[in-house]
Amino acid sequence: MVRLSVPLSWLVRMWRRTLDRIRRLTHSRAAWMLGLIALVHFWVFSYQPGINNPNENVRFYMTAAMVEQHTYAIDAMRARWGWTNDAAVKDGHFYSAKAPGTSELGVPAYAAYYYGCRALGVPVDRVAALWVCRTFASIVPALLFAAFFRRFLRRRTPAEADPKETLVDATLVSTMLGSLLLAYSPSFVSHTQSAVVAFVAFDLLRRSRAEERSGSFRLAFAAGLLAACVTYFEYPCAPVSAALVFYALVALRPSRYPFFALGALIPVLLVMHFQWKTFGNAFTPGHLFLEDPGFRAQHRTGLFGLNGFHTEGLSLLTSPGYGLFPLTPLFCLAPLGLVILLRRPRERLDALVALAGFVFPVLATISFAHWRGGWAVGPRHIAVVVPFVAWFAYEGLLLLAQRGRDLAAAIALATMLVGLFLSGVPSLWYPHVPEYFERPLPQLFFTLISHDYAPLTLLSVFGIYGSAALAPLLAIPAWLTLRLVAAARRRLLVLVAAAALGLVLLLPSLVVSRPASEDIRRGTRFITSHWSPAGHDRVARVRAEIGGQNDPKRIRLLAALLDGEYRDAEAAAVLRRLAP
């Protein structure tokens, strides 16, 4: 009995401690915020096979090839699942032209799914495998970063700041749900991963420097690993890795340099091995061997495609339709926050390095002929800058809070809600906006939403499709609004001021000054005609209701819906059924 009493009492104590931790967690504001962010990421599964997304497919093909055939070549995957762009060809074999980081990060998840299917005797389903890779290689890192970034913001908040929790949450929501990160966190691409590792590496080095370079060997190793991973995930982010390396020379003790270098060596060797085995040279990326002759010619001019300064590329920051600052207006406070940081001697170097983490990717992107980035939400090629800009913006928001609590609450509320609308809606509905949509919401998304074109959601399991399946997510901005307003002293004034400011911020992105161009009409036709899941939109439902009958009311409604989607030929064919 004595032998059993010790472990049993220990188990009882552990059980009570666990329950106590769970109880504290459920009452934790951080847990609720991170839970809401996770809910948004898992609620929607935006998958549009009709566009054959090369940015995701070529990475996914490489992951599958590595697991199933232990090779980088994606020949067999292209034969099984179809052709995809962004592939490089060398010696008769096809490879991913992307940096290998995302593909290799997805290997454990794909392997678990693949060998699990083999053990159970069931076939591998491409869509299910993609969901597994997205979840563990994209969504989970994004959620871990959300927890990290919230702690970072809280550490940056003075104890006397008022209201500190609401400003932290508003900044976190604007960054994770109201910026272009939401478009790529749930996708098997590398934009969010590069942003995550860049900022975490920066913060590790910043903390080491703030502690008089007393960082541990493990911290130096982790910082080096993450700094090199920026390029491991995204080739164009190499300047950010270089900035972090120079920062490490100042932030770390010289005795820590070897450990930083050892950490950085791991992703560097992985990239070199990939390039050596695929393109015959450890220092040659796949862009020089792109299958598409037009893209190949672009990357062979200048330095890997960097062929001059394209001033029109600055619209990546300012355009009402796809610019970084208009789509996430909280970031407009970033210049104010940067000035504040530069005026603090102890943080001046940190601010300059973070500024380099913004300036270098922007300069590199607008020096590339294909600076716009194709079908995307926001400026995806500079996604790595988002956490740095968010930090600057938060510092600016804190300064405003010192000048006036209600002023800061109104600005935080307005910018957060506008970001959720301008960035969050496209990111969830259709994160592949063609370049010629200058105002995506009025030109495309209002039609998609009103005609019930919606992606798969958790409610699809219960047979609920269409725009109504995303309506429960409206509870999130409503709850956040209540929390922000509750923290204000003059609540009605905050609501009125936030509404007025939000309207001013929204108008430039909603006003369309000219009729739809032929590109917009053709793009809308393509998107609605190739929508997945098919058969749940209003056009499909009205077609099913008409069947073989000649109901004039229904036929006119169907023609009007098709006309609203610029499917003129189909609308005319439907109306011919009414001809005597």
Q: In 3-state terms, what secondary structure has residue 377?
A: coil
Check pLDDT > 80 for residue 20: no
- Please say whether the beta carbons of 502 and 418 come within 8 A: yes
Check pLDDT > 60 for residue 509: yes
- Tell me the one-letter amino acid at 435: E
Tokens, residue 560 = 């009007």
Q: Which of 8-17, 37-46, 292-301 has the highest mean pLDDT?
A: 37-46
Q: How many residues are given for the chain?
A: 580
Tokens, residue 400 = 């405003």
Give mean pLDDT, residues 35-39: 94
Within 8 A by CB and 6+ apart from 211, the residues are: none
pLDDT at 505: 96
pLDDT at 292: 79
Give mean pLDDT, residues 31-49: 93
Q: In 3-state terms, what secondary structure has residue 311?
A: helix
Task: Point out the least confidently predicted range of 66-80, 145-159, 525-539.
Answer: 145-159
Check pLDDT > 50 for residue 25: no
The pair phi, psi for residue 565, each rounded to 5°, is -100, 10
CA angle in degrees (0–180, nearest 5) for 192-197-201: 150
List the chain domain ranges. Answer: 49-129, 158-325+332-398, 440-478+507-578
Based on its alpha-carbon atoms, the radius of gyration of the chain, rounded to whole angstroms, reads 25
Q: How confident is the model at residue 5 (pLDDT cuts 50, 70, 90)?
A: very low
SS3 readout for 222-238: HHHHHHHHHHHHCHHHH
CB-CB neighbours of 60 under 10 Å = 27
Within 8 A by CB and 6+ apart from 316, the residues are: 322, 323, 324, 362, 365, 366, 371, 372, 379, 381, 382
- Please say whether the beta carbons of 272 and 255 come within 8 A: no
Distance CA 570, CA 506 (A): 34
